[in-house]
A and B are shown apart, each in its own frame.
Chain A
Amino acid sequence: MARVVFLVERCKGCQLCTAVCPKGIVVMSDSTNEMGYHPASVSEQNKCTGCGICALVCPDMVIEVEREEKAV
């Protein structure tokens, strides 16, 4: 179980994250944020594995990744 949170007001719509998602679920939103950019968002949250590659390439730290802690 994993979740990505997009801080949409920080997103400048560069689309770098959309190209690297192995599941292809990061898409650009149709709405605009306060800065006037179309922010990135995740289309199917349930498919997210929490790999964090989108967050790794994001230059503006828009993306936070949460993952369920593994049971020991």
Chain B
Amino acid sequence: MKKVFTRPRSLKDVPFHYCPGCTHGVAHRLVAEVIDELGIQDNVIGNAPVGCAVFTMDYFDFDMISAAHGRAPAVATGVKRVLPDRVVFTYQGDGDLAAIGTGEFIHAAVRGEKITCIFINNAVYGMTGGQMAPTTLLGQKTKTTPYGRDSEVNGYPIKVCEMLTPLDGAAYVARVAVHSPKAIIQAKKALKKAFQVQINGLGFSLVEILSTCPTNWGLTPLEAVKWLDENMIPYFPLGEYKVPPAGVI
């Protein structure tokens, strides 16, 4: 019998350190599968964030750099400008990209840097123990909002894809999720398109992946995917927010 589903070549054969049911593993696999399918494993440079995914260099079987907190798009800009023939991407969480790194990714998009940002949005600070993140939903209970996020005190969740859409430098912006088989298939298509936009030199691309954090949400993995579907998707609608003109990729 032929193996039809197995570990992608770009992913090392080591167990993930992530909590049970954490969808970081699915996102890692999708990125590795896309890199395999595009045949760019020897030509890709990834930038790891600070957060749960800080150890991605242990998992991806290609060159990785670890940037200071939130600065992955700035480091990626430097790498891409020095080595323009490489495919450069960042893999960042919401605490990294949408909080301390807001300036970096917006200005990378404004400058039209030919890099790809993969943005994992799980509405909470994962590694530090479940504090409120900029993407935490209104009413969501976290360690620092024990009565639920209140817009009077804590403001509103940040919508990254909607923010990037008006910027001319951003060529591809999409929001996907990894909570169901259908969503995972669509997420992979979006990731592939984002890398193709970069390879074709069209500009900045960002894929926001809605992800679960069962540990810090205080839910079982199965409850967490349901919570994502019922609460996150209505506030963060899925879809392609900006696509290059038809026929370009």
Give chain B nearest CB distance to A24 CB in angstroms: 14
For A20, the chain B residues whose CB sits under 8 A away are 180-181
A58 and B221 CA atoms in complex are apart in Å by 11
A53 and B181 CA atoms in complex are apart in Å by 6
Give chain B nearest CB distance to A7 CB in angstroms: 9
Tally of contact residues, A, Cβ under 8 A: 29
Count A-B pairs with CB separation below 8 Å. 76
A35 and B20 CA atoms in complex are apart in Å by 11
Also in contact, A13 and B3, with CB within 8 A (given A53-B181, A57-B181, A59-B25): no
**Residue B235 interfacial (CB < 8 Å):** no
For B141, the chain A residues whose CB sits under 8 A away are none
- Residues of B2-51 at the interface with A, using a CB-CB cut-off of 8 Å, are 2-7, 11, 15-16, 18-26, 29
Instruction: Report whether A16 and B16 are in contact in the complex, using a CB–CB cutoff of 8 Å.
Output: no
For A37, the chain B residues whose CB sits under 8 A away are 20
Closest A residue by C-beta to B214:
A14
**Residue B151 interfacial (CB < 8 Å):** no
A51 and B23 CA atoms in complex are apart in Å by 20
Closest B residue by C-beta to A67:
B4
Closest B residue by C-beta to A13:
B20
A64 and B7 CA atoms in complex are apart in Å by 8
- Residues of A49-70 at the interface with B, using a CB-CB cut-off of 8 Å, are 50, 52-53, 55-61, 63-69
A59 and B11 CA atoms in complex are apart in Å by 13
Instruction: Report whether B7 and A61 are in contact in the complex, using a CB–CB cutoff of 8 Å.
Output: yes
Cβ contacts A to B, 25 pairs, < 8 Å: A1-B1, A13-B20, A15-B220, A16-B221, A19-B222, A20-B181, A50-B4, A56-B181, A56-B184, A57-B26, A57-B180, A57-B181, A57-B184, A58-B25, A59-B22, A59-B23, A61-B7, A61-B25, A64-B7, A65-B5, A66-B1, A66-B2, A66-B4, A67-B1, A67-B4
